[in-house]
C-alpha cells in the first residue's frame, strides 16, 4: 500500500464523517419549535416570558398535638399553588432599527 493513497482515503473518511454529523445535527438544532410562537402574525414581534408559579396564602387552624388532653388550636399560615410556572409569548413593540425582511 502506498502512503499517498492512504492519506486520500483518510481525508475522504473525515469528509464523510463531517457531512454525516452536519446532516444529523441539523434536525436536532432546529428543535421542537419552542423558540417560535404558535401561529405568529406577520409584522408583529414576540417575546418569550417566564411566568413564575403563583401561590395563595391562607390562615388555617390546626389541633395542637402537644396537648391532647385539652384540645387547643393554633393559627397556621399556609400556601397553596394556584398556577404552575410556565413560559408565555407576548406581543412587544418591534425595534425600528432592524432591517425589513425582504422575500425574494
Q: How far is CA 31 from CA 25, 34, 70, 84, 85, in A?
A: 10, 7, 62, 24, 21
Per-residue pLDDT tens for 34-68? Answer: 788 888 998 899 999 999 999 999 998 887 777 66
Give the residue extent of every domain in the chain: 1-31
Q: What is the pLDDT of residues 72-102, one digit of tens each?
A: 888 889 999 999 999 999 999 987 655 555 5
The pTM of this model reads 0.43
Which pLDDT belongs to residue 18? 67
Amino acid at each position: 500500500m502506498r502512503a499517498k493513497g492512504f492519506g486520500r482515503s483518510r481525508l475522504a473518511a473525515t469528509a464523510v464523517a463531517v457531512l454525516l454529523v452536519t446532516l444529523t445535527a441539523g434536525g436536532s438544532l432546529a428543535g421542537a419549535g419552542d423558540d417560535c410562537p404558535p401561529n405568529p402574525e406577520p409584522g408583529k414581534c414576540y417575546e418569550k416570558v417566564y411566568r413564575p408559579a403563583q401561590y395563595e396564602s391562607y390562615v388555617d387552624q390546626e389541633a395542637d398535638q402537644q396537648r391532647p388532653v385539652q384540645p387547643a388550636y393554633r393559627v397556621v399560615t399556609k400556601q397553596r399553588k394556584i398556577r404552575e410556572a410556565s413560559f408565555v409569548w407576548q406581543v412587544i413593540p418591534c425595534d425600528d432599527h432592524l432591517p425589513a425582511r425582504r422575500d425574494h
